[in-house]
Structure 1
Amino acid sequence: MSTLLKVEDLVKNFGGLTAVSDVTMQLNDDELVALIGPNGAGKTTLFNLLTGVIVPSSGSITFRGPNGTIPLNGKKAYKIANLGMARTFQNIRLFKELSVLDNVLIAMTAHYKEGFVQSVFRLPKFYRTEAQIRQEAIELLKIFDLQDDVDKLAKNLPYGIQRRLEIVRGLAMKPKVLFLDEPAAGMNPEETADLTRLIRQIQREFHITVLLIEHDMSLVMNLAERIYVLDHGSLLAEGTPAQIQQNPAVIKAYLGEEA
């Protein structure tokens, strides 16, 4: 299994506070990894570092591109996204006044670069490309049972379906790595079960690497192949779900003494 994303000795300081401390980890091709830890452990900060939202204080992040290893330190978030990394957020960030279809189309257009002449003069190639993007978006929505919602405004969807749409929009960017930041937050048990099936479906059909932050331990233990545990910004443990469940340090710091 080849390494896709590698993190070495990563540190992020905010003034006198160290939010992420000497974190070393890696993501491999086509695997599902969970990042867990108490509130305030630094999980979202680590996500923000990996996706270019904030810049590391020290350490390195590298990504395997088509022509070799690419350093990500200091790259803008949109450039990192274009390399093949997409994410969702704790708080849903859809274009709520746009339709379901338009939300997906916006994500897909980054992969279709039309020339100035074709765009301005609306030459036949422009319309062919536009039709192709629309058809691909509809096919993607069908995979996730959203084909009947294409014309609905995103704000009018039930909460669980908005979460699903946000994940589909991430997939529309054709990522190699999909970062999911607390995708089950605010969901009821039925919605969480649907989300679990959705994430499994993503792994099966798209063969991408998924890194998720999640507090729902049943979802994590059912889905993850490997788990990293953060505590106070530092890596406390790494291993399979069975290893994490039996790790005394994890039990004390996160899962509870009686776990």
Structure 2
Amino acid sequence: MSLLEVKKLTKNFGGLAAVSMVSMELYPNELVGLIGPNGAGKTTLFNLLTGVYQPTEGSIDLEIKGKKQSLIGKKTYNITDMGLGRTFQNIRLFKNLTVLDNVLIGMHAKKKVGALAGIIRTPHFYQSEEKMKKDAIALLTIFNLEDKVAELAKNLPYGEQRRLEIVRALATKPKILFLDEPAAGMNPQETADLTALIRQIQRDFEITILLIEHDMSLVMNVCERIYVLEYGRMIAHGTPAEIKNNQAVIKAYLGGD
């Protein structure tokens, strides 16, 4: 059974179809790429899948405990709670908060302490807060950020800000992680480190990853399957080898004749 099933998804902005009749499936514990030229509709598709936009038509169903549940009409925080996490093309951290606080904000999505316990500060509340801090530091340690817990997010180097955004998304304990151009603005060494990191995340956290990326070497190296968008439509789907030799993809994305 697929973990996420998208059927005939369409989003119109006025007379423009930014995404048109897109269908795709994601399965448990796989790493999938989503590529296409600038303006192809990749980020719009992410925004539809995560509740930022509501579709004009089509369906998005997530498997939860053996049953399909629709994501249509759900708020972004509902979708996060259901198990979809994401990063953004332009880094969106709480830049005036510490590294630790950024991760704790992600963890609060799964916090089970009630509002009353938070107001009167019960022992259970303090125990929960302490456990979250320990879990956050343990997560930061995996990504070599444990020595930066007290630093403001805005003071981190660019590559570390990218890593922190991924850590915050993982703190929500997602079933599916959407990465929107995580290598944007990175130098070759940072991109190589990110490639290894994405592999590690998929392996160690046993989650599904959908990756938007323009760095074709990264996509070809880490993805098991690849979907290709052009002008909001899905024009190809296959393994990296199949996509590399697909004439429609070569023409639309790789500059062929």
The two structures share one fold, judged by TM-score above 0.5? yes
How many residue pairs are counted as aligned between the two chains? 257
- 1:20 corresponds in structure 2 to 19
Gaps of 5+ in 1: none
Report the AA paired with residue 173 of structure 1: T
How far is 1:255 from its partner?
1.2
- 2:163 corresponds in structure 1 to 164
| TM-score normalised by L of structure 2 | 0.98
Report the AA paired with residue 232 of structure 1: Y
- 1:214 corresponds in structure 2 to 213
- 2:204 corresponds in structure 1 to 205
How far is 1:227 from its partner?
0.2
Matches of 1:110 and 1:18, distance apart in 2: 33
Residues 66-86 of structure 1, C-alpha deviations (whole Å, 9 max, x = no match): 261101111111111110000
How far is 1:116 from its partner?
3.2
- 1:123 corresponds in structure 2 to 122
- 2:135 corresponds in structure 1 to 136
Helix, strand or coil for the counterpart of 1:251? Answer: helix
Helix, strand or coil for the counterpart of 1:34? Answer: strand
Where does 1:47-196 land on structure 2 (aligned, <5 Å)? Answer: 47-66=46-65, 68-196=67-195
- 1:34 corresponds in structure 2 to 33
Residues 196-244 of structure 1, C-alpha deviations (whole Å, 9 max, x = no match): 1110110110000000100000000001000000001100100000000
How far is 1:112 from its partner?
1.3
How far is 1:121 from its partner?
1.8
Matches of 1:116 and 1:254, distance apart in 2: 50
Helix, strand or coil for the counterpart of 2:214? Answer: coil
Matches of 1:8 and 1:88, distance apart in 2: 23
Report the AA paired with residue 163 of structure 1: R
Report the AA paired with residue 143 of structure 1: I
Matches of 1:27 and 1:182, distance apart in 2: 19
Matches of 2:104 and 2:222, distance apart in 1: 29
Residues 125-148 of structure 1, C-alpha deviations (whole Å, 9 max, x = no match): 111111110000000001111111
RMSD: 1.0
Report the AA paired with residue 141 of structure 2: K
Q: Structure 1 residues 67 and 225, CA, compared in 2 at 3 Å: closer, same or farther?
A: closer
Matches of 2:228 and 2:66, distance apart in 1: 32
Residues 161-203 of structure 1, C-alpha deviations (whole Å, 9 max, x = no match): 0000000100000000000000000111111111111101101
Matches of 2:123 and 2:76, distance apart in 1: 33
Q: Which moved more, 1:155-164 or 1:111-120?
A: 111-120
Matches of 1:91 and 1:182, distance apart in 2: 9
Matches of 1:56 and 1:245, distance apart in 2: 30
How far is 1:120 from its partner?
1.8
- 1:3 corresponds in structure 2 to 2
Matches of 1:11 and 1:33, distance apart in 2: 21
Helix, strand or coil for the counterpart of 1:255? Answer: coil
| TM-score normalised by L of structure 1 | 0.97
- 2:242 corresponds in structure 1 to 243
Report the AA paired with residue 246 of structure 1: N
Helix, strand or coil for the counterpart of 2:3? Answer: strand
Residues 43-75 of structure 1, C-alpha deviations (whole Å, 9 max, x = no match): 011000000000000010000012611011111
Gaps of 5+ in 2: none
Q: Which moved more, 1:58-67 or 1:98-107?
A: 58-67
